[in-house]
Amino acid sequence: MDSIDLEVLKTSAAWIAAGHKAELVTVMKTWGSSPRPIGATLAICDDGTVVGSVSGGCIEDDLIARVRNHGITRDTPEVVSYGITADEAHRFGLPCGGTIELALEPLGPHSRIAELLDMLEQRRLVERRLDLDTGAVTLAPAVAGNILERIGNSLVTQHGPRWRLLIIGAGQLSRFLAQIATAMEYHVTVCDPREEYRQGWHVDNVQLVHAMPDDLVLEMKLDHRSAVVALTHDPKLDDLALMEALKSDAFYVGAIGSRLNNSKRRERLVQFDVTPEQLDRLHGPIGLYIGSKTPAEIAISILAEMTAVKNGVPSSMQVNHAAAPQPQSGSACMVGAV
């Protein structure tokens, strides 16, 4: 779950607890171009305050105006469409005649928002089923799949914990990687047992942990919404952590280093009883080739590859590492695929 959607749920729960009326607005379907994807959410309070987004802003303006003029009067959910005509598409900022279908759900204790948040805190993947006739809600364990689907007269949405990134090594590159990943709404943890590297290392909203990386990998219980990136160049720190990460459900495991060093790393991991199938999951040299030369650019290349993997982009459609030029004599790493 993106932190924006998590903020929508947390704010909704606070409004309900404070006795406010509120509505949860969910993008159910789109046609043509749409600024926000299916499953995007917005919550609106009875005073017109909003959190989240379902469009570029014009639909939000219309929803706010309706609440301020008429209040929140719905007792049961309602499905509405915006942008059906060309004039409406222009008015609401939907390009190319796009149309968006929204579920407007009045919230209250029956909505089970607080209970859903408790389940997400436990890093559980949850299915929330909304009866569009009555507004009744059921919560159940979910299997990773569609973010949203309509089944009969039920709106079924899937909610998962926030995406996590574990960075092994507190250095300059990890600083840029942590900053950009945080902006991309990852919950970032940096692990380094070396005091000389931890001193002076700080990034807002990033936890810096003094621990052995392999111990932390096991402690974090990595799931399919977790990624691990090893940046120390030190086999004593990287290898055991990578071994445990490759045996986990982490969606992405990568390690910095040249082609030669990555080849040697793979040979060592085989000695640690890492299976060929598990070893195939290791990304190294790490990152997509984008011609990057600075730590900030290399961080972008790493996160570009992570994003492609997270979004299910086939490897055949990603920028091939082999297409990258060879490093100059004396260079220790690839540039942009390191």
Tell me how far apart the alpha carbons of residues 45 and 68 are, in angstroms, rounded to a whole number: 10
Question: Same structural domain for residues 146 and 108?
Answer: yes
Question: Same structural domain for residues 251 and 119?
Answer: no
Would residue 274 count as lying in a domain? Answer: yes
> SS3 of 290, please?
coil
Tell me how far apart the alpha carbons of residues 150 and 164 are, in angstroms, rounded to a whole number: 29
Would residue 318 count as lying in a domain? Answer: no
pLDDT at 116: 96
Read off the pLDDT of residues 159-189 as tens digits, 9 standing for 90 and up: 988 889 999 999 999 999 999 999 888 999 9
Tell me how far apart the alpha carbons of residues 191 and 210 are, in angstroms, rounded to a whole number: 6
Q: What pLDDT band is residue 246 in, cutting at 50, 70 and 90? A: very high
Q: What pLDDT band is residue 322 in, cutting at 50, 70 and 90? A: very low
Question: Same structural domain for residues 189 and 57?
Answer: no
Q: Give the pLDDT mean for 107-136.
A: 94
What are the C-alpha distances in Å from 155 to residues 30, 43, 275?
15, 17, 41
pLDDT at 330: 39
- Choosing from 142, 159, 176, the residue where a domain stops is 159
Would residue 321 count as lying in a domain? Answer: no
Would residue 326 count as lying in a domain? Answer: no
Question: Same structural domain for residues 124 and 97?
Answer: yes
Would residue 21 count as lying in a domain? Answer: yes
The structure's pTM equals 0.69
Q: What is the CATH number of the domain that holds 241?
A: 3.40.50.720
Tell me how far apart the alpha carbons of residues 55 and 82 are, in angstroms, rounded to a whole number: 10
Would residue 335 count as lying in a domain? Answer: no
Domain containing 203: what range? 164-313
Q: What pLDDT band is residue 31 in, cutting at 50, 70 and 90? A: confident
Question: Same structural domain for residues 23 and 124?
Answer: yes
Q: Give me the percent of the chain exceeding a pLDDT of 90.
A: 65
Question: Same structural domain for residues 86 and 12?
Answer: yes
Domain count along the chain: 2
Check if the beta carbon of residue 166 is closer than 8 Å to that of residue 220: yes
Question: Same structural domain for residues 30 and 89?
Answer: yes
The pair of structure tokens assigned to 153 is: 């007269």
Flag whether pLDDT at 323 surpasses 70: no
